[in-house]
Amino acid sequence: MNKIAGYRKMLGMSQEKMAKEFGISAQAFRMKEKGKVNFNKSEMLKFRNLLRENLFPSITIDEIFF
């Protein structure tokens, strides 16, 4: 399991729920989570903010995506 999938699971969200959160299809989110397509800057910020609100108040984009 990669880091993105791990963090998503810590949030208790399915790929489908995350896709809705990002306003994209579940298939598009799966491609991003697998690393076949990159997350854009606004998606990275949204993901970071979800983690900050719910689990890790000081997590950075670098810690999540790089």
**Ordered structural domains, the chain, with CATH:** 3-65 (1.10.260)
Q: How many CA atoms lie within 13 A of 6 on its CB side?
A: 6
pLDDT score, position 62: 96
Rounded mean pLDDT, 51-58: 97
Q: Is 34 exposed, middle or buried (0-12, 13-18, 19+ CB in 10 A)?
A: exposed
Sign of CA dihedral 5, 11, 17, 21: negative
For residue 56, is pLDDT > 80? yes
Each residue's pLDDT tens digit, 1-49: 699 999 999 999 999 999 999 999 999 999 999 999 999 999 999 999 9
